[in-house]
Chain A
Amino acid sequence: MRFAFDVATPRSLPELLTLLEAGDDTRLLAGGTALTIMISRGLVSPERVIDIQHVDGLGDIEHGDGETTFGSLVPLRSIELDSGTAASLPVLVDALRHVANVRVRNAATIGGNICEADYASDPPAVLMALGASVRLASPGGERIVALDDGFFQGFYETIVEPDEVLTAVVVPHPPAGARATYIRYVSRSAEDRPCVGVAAVVRSDPDTGMVRQLRVIVGGVAETPQRFPDLESRAVGARLEPAIASEIAAGYAEQIDPIDDIRGSAWYRRRMIDVFVRRALAAIGGEPSANGLGERA
């Protein structure tokens, strides 16, 4: 079938921003793994597609002091294979390794994944748990937004304005001694999207073992990744022991209003949130491991 839309292929960011200024009904195409399916199924029918794959300068990984910056066009597979990322953000590499399959990861980009805002996706939860933020460029300038500062607005909805483009994802490195995990639970085939995904990062006092900070993000269960700072803070000042973990897990299960879909009913998902938050906290609650990695489901 033919589809009626114009295609623009800018080569530079300024050129892209000029195109965005026109403000037509536009979709940006990066890896194309989501947009092409949406168009062919008639879920979106933009007047114009801007193919940003050839925009200069959006495809690099930069390892800075205490943070790594991923250009929005970096394929998930490149992050997964990047040795610098493996050293500084092992939990991210571990999470990406189980997204879809290698064919999809070769094409899908980190920026595209975030902007698609599919509720049944792995990277948003783990990036949020790591405290990632994104750079949004527009003809008017640039703004930086933390993912957990309302970036995800709903099903396939973000705060990115029509004249903005996500240019980079900045991920701070967890401090030494921090432990992180991402548990991805699939209820059907091994290549399914997650029924529940739990990312958790804990920073503890190296001497006393008391928790200083805990972040727990649950993805795949509601419109957007779910985080409850009040529940996270219950672990602060204590050891992340099974009783606290169970209390936090029960709290997440109670507070999240889970969706009902082909991967599980709301009833089932509520139980799985409890199980996998508990398991994620158990994975990062014991003695620090050599690679800072927790268990995987």
Chain B
Amino acid sequence: MTSPTGALGASIQALDGVSRVTGRIRYASDARSAGALHGAILGSPHAHARIVSIDTSALRGMTGVRAIVTSRQLLERSADPYLGGVIRDRPPVALDKVRFAGEPVAAVAAVDEDVAREALERIRIEYEPLEAVFDPLAALAPGAPMIHERIRRVVPWRPEIPAEAAGPNVVHRFFQRRGDVEEGFRRAALVVENVFVSPPVQHAALEPHSTIATATPNGAVVLTASQNPFVLQRQLAQLLGVPTAHVRITVPPIGGAFGGRLTARLEPIALLLSLEANGRPVRIELNGSESFALGVQHPARVALRTGVDGDGRLIAQEAICHYTSGAYADTTPNLISRAYAATGPYLVPNLVAESFGVYTNQVPSASFRGYGITQVCWAHEAQMDAIAAAVGMDPLAIRLLNVVHPGDPFTTGEPLPDLHYDDLFRSAAQAIGWSEGTRSIVGTRVRAKGLAATIKGMATPTTSNATIRLHGDGSIDALVGTVDMGQGSGTALAQIVAAALAVNPSAVTIRVPDTDAAPFDSMTAASRSTFCMGLALRDAAARLVEQLAEYAATELEAAPSDLVLGQNGFSVRGAPTRSVDLVQVVRASGRQIMIGAGSFIADRSQDGHVVRLDAEGQGYGSAEWHPAVAACEVEVDLDTGHVRVIELSVALDIGTVVNPRLANLQVEGSAMFAIGQALFEEVRYDENGHLANRTLSDYQMPSSRDVPEVLLVDFRDPVGSHEIHGVGETALPPVRAAVVNAVGRAIGRSMTHLPLTPETILRAVLTGPLVAGEP
């Protein structure tokens, strides 16, 4: 039994592309429900305060108000008031205290928005303000205000996370040790130390956050823009104390997510309001400014101390990372382990990495495209440039000297599979003319080139399930939990199904997630869907073909093993005219529909080991390792500090490219995220912990006019693996680092704080120390 794979590798247009750009997609924020109430949320004015009392008596009898939710209703209605993927530390509305400015304290549902907002104004809340802390090091210092109790609720399936926190305001600590780092430093000819600081940045997806929740007699129905509908389903079931199967989540196509839609925030509040309103649907929609308080990328402080021998070989590194978690743990316990990539894809025989997630009284940090790697990547890549300058080596040469080769051990001790960084470095560097000189000056404008590499893991373990249905007329649909957020998953997955069933991709419909129909999928995140859901769909297709082949074999009077699946259906090997098409096979089966169910569990490394790290960070860290190298040329105006990215090239190995055009767009999108983060994106707070730039005018993102004049993407598959790997995030970390490194080389300064605004650069030019060979 063989089948062709023609649909793979074709740059077909996104199947929903025309609908997206002509406004025909019905997003969650476009959805309305007859009779739905309008929900509105009251946020805390304090960054840290005890709630003394909540008085909602002024709302009694107020016309149009149908429901109120405060801590009282939460405790009455919920089986368990706490939410959280790993550490359950967050109630949907504050219980006894607030931990960041804007944290939901109360919510109302009313017949319209004006009544809802007026009702919020009438709620009287007495707070006892507490000292707040905004800096991670200050939060860890003795005497710092305690944001959470040290004994906390950890989900039972994470036994490695202790019930007692590692220290006051510590969310979790990750530790890694390999070799003998002190001995390594003793042997070092040179030791370079730097601290690299990344600010919080915003997801800023275009679609507003919105949800419609309806409490049903035995559960709930929720329409929402979520990246992990099945996790949300379980969380809401747990909140209400009802079986998972009684909660239904549907997710329309989403207008951008980038990690910002992985946390249950509006849904539990809308659901509680609906319960209070006797099951009337409740719709909550935040405006753009309100969405800014939902989550940010983890701000991070990465301190690196690196020892090098006389030839420029890395022999020891100590990395101390502080990832700011903000007010709640969210994904931080998982994310801080990305300190395992604090050396990048370079061989370091002796290392220590210690990484802390730290509570502060700020907007909770959330998953973000580049998941914890972005922050350490620019640190190790800026460090590598500082080392190159100190030992007088070319940045490319020192990287080629130290980079891992296939089979070399990673920081976890695991042998790295087929990662061909040499090839990626040469491709990316050559594309921007690295060897043609790295610095030139015209007038006040200096041009320089920069390089960076990344190694990015994928969340492990995760699971994808899929169901493929072949209908009586030959049409095909697939029920999956993968969310199309604009990344084109619906198109890429259709191509994978089409290839497996030898049909045209346009004949395949990938359904939007509905937990009543689709089987469990962990999430649409971590660059995992094309890989994990792609394999689940291939499994489902194989099982479907197996069943079909039996009926076809009977029809064709041949053995199933002698059949070939092609564009005309099944035929007998060597006798192509003896064939039966898919419609005939379904008819022959008498079932009217044929269903294949498949799954993929990503819990093992490519060489078959269970992914798990021990207490010293040794073992296997990820089911997949995604490699990428970026190189760029920037122009810095020395009079103003203004930077233009002139040329950018990214080389990645993603195996078989399902759809080159869509894969390219993922790299381009990641690159533009990275350029914004390198040069000007930063969420700012005032001295009271209130967001200071929460509009898209005050918080700027790159525009289409900021795209580099030349942007080259090179997908390489040096081993011809025929495997499909993810590409949604991989370019972000190295592009951010490459831009920063190019600017540093242009002005001869080591830049350690992002973003590199023109003012930051000008001050560095005027006052900063020149990069020198000092240890």
- Interface of A with B (CB < 8 Å)? 1-2, 41, 101, 185, 187-193, 262, 264-265, 268, 271-272, 275
Main secondary structure of the interface of B (DSSP, over half): loop
- The reply to whether B758 and A189 form a contact with Cβ atoms under 8 Å apart is no
Could you list 18 A-B pairs, sorted by A, with CB under 8 Å? A1-B117, A2-B112, A185-B642, A188-B700, A189-B676, A189-B680, A189-B700, A189-B703, A190-B702, A190-B703, A191-B700, A191-B705, A192-B700, A262-B698, A264-B758, A264-B759, A265-B759, A275-B640
Chain A residues within 8 Å of B700, by CB: 188-189, 191-192
Apart from A188-B680, A189-B705, what 20 extra A-B contacts exist at CB < 8 Å? A1-B113, A2-B113, A101-B703, A185-B640, A187-B758, A187-B759, A188-B679, A189-B700, A189-B702, A190-B703, A190-B706, A191-B700, A191-B703, A192-B700, A193-B697, A262-B684, A268-B762, A271-B762, A272-B640, A275-B640
Q: Can you list, as one digit per residue, whether each of B651-685 has a CB less than 8 Å from chain A (1) or not (0)?
A: 00000000000000000000000001001100010
Chain B residues within 8 Å of A262, by CB: 684, 693, 698
- Specify which of B639, B684, B698, B757 is in contact with A187 (CB 8 Å cutoff): B757
- The reply to whether B113 and A189 form a contact with Cβ atoms under 8 Å apart is no
Docked pose: A286 CA to B702 CA in angstroms: 35
The 10 closest A-B pairs by CB, nearest first: A190-B705, A191-B703, A188-B700, A188-B680, A268-B759, A189-B700, A275-B639, A187-B758, A189-B703, A190-B706
Q: Which of B617-664 contact A (CB under 8 A)?
A: 639-640, 642
Chain A residues within 8 Å of B702, by CB: 189-190
Chain A residues within 8 Å of B703, by CB: 101, 189-191
Q: How far is the CB of A5 from chain B (nearest CB, A)?
A: 14
Q: How far is the CB of A227 from chain B (nearest CB, A)?
A: 22
Q: How far is the CB of B23 from chain A (nearest CB, A)?
A: 14
Chain B residues within 8 Å of A265, by CB: 759
Interface residues on B, range: 20 to 34
Chain B residues within 8 Å of A2, by CB: 112-114
Q: Which of A189, A193, A272 gathers most chain B CB within 10 Å?
A: A189
- The reply to whether B642 and A1 form a contact with Cβ atoms under 8 Å apart is no
Docked pose: A96 CA to B18 CA in angstroms: 31
- The reply to whether A189 and B693 form a contact with Cβ atoms under 8 Å apart is no
Chain B residues within 8 Å of A185, by CB: 640, 642
Q: How far is the CB of A294 from chain B (nearest CB, A)?
A: 16
Q: How far is the CB of B760 from chain A (nearest CB, A)?
A: 10
Docked pose: A188 CA to B642 CA in angstroms: 9
Complex: chain B residue closest to A268, CB-CB: B759
B552 at the interface (CB under 8 A from A): no
Q: Which of B672-723 contact A (CB under 8 A)?
A: 676, 679-680, 684, 693, 695, 697-698, 700-703, 705-706
Chain B residues within 8 Å of A192, by CB: 700
Docked pose: A128 CA to B185 CA in angstroms: 65
Docked pose: A275 CA to B640 CA in angstroms: 8
Chain A residues within 8 Å of B112, by CB: 2
- The reply to whether A187 and B693 form a contact with Cβ atoms under 8 Å apart is no
Q: How far is the CB of A159 from chain B (nearest CB, A)?
A: 27
Chain A residues within 8 Å of B757, by CB: 187-188
Known contacts A185-B640, A190-B705, A191-B703: A268-B758 contact under CB 8 Å: yes
Docked pose: A189 CA to B679 CA in angstroms: 9
Chain A residues within 8 Å of B701, by CB: 189
Q: Can you list, as one digit per residue, whether each of B94-125 has a CB less than 8 Å from chain A (1) or not (0)?
A: 00000000000000000011100100000000
Chain B residues within 8 Å of A1, by CB: 113-114, 117
Complex: chain A residue closest to B117, CB-CB: A1
Docked pose: A188 CA to B680 CA in angstroms: 6
Complex: chain A residue closest to B289, CB-CB: A41
- The reply to whether A187 and B642 form a contact with Cβ atoms under 8 Å apart is yes
Q: How far is the CB of A194 from chain B (nearest CB, A)?
A: 13
Docked pose: A160 CA to B758 CA in angstroms: 37
Q: How far is the CB of B326 from chain A (nearest CB, A)?
A: 22
Complex: chain A residue closest to B676, CB-CB: A189
Complex: chain B residue closest to A3, CB-CB: B114
Q: Which of A188, A262, A265, A268 gathers most chain B CB within 10 Å?
A: A188
Docked pose: A193 CA to B695 CA in angstroms: 14
Docked pose: A160 CA to B33 CA in angstroms: 47
Chain B residues within 8 Å of A41, by CB: 695
Q: Which of B113, B117, B700, B705 gathers most chain A CB within 10 Å?
A: B700
Q: How far is the CB of B90 from chain A (nearest CB, A)?
A: 28
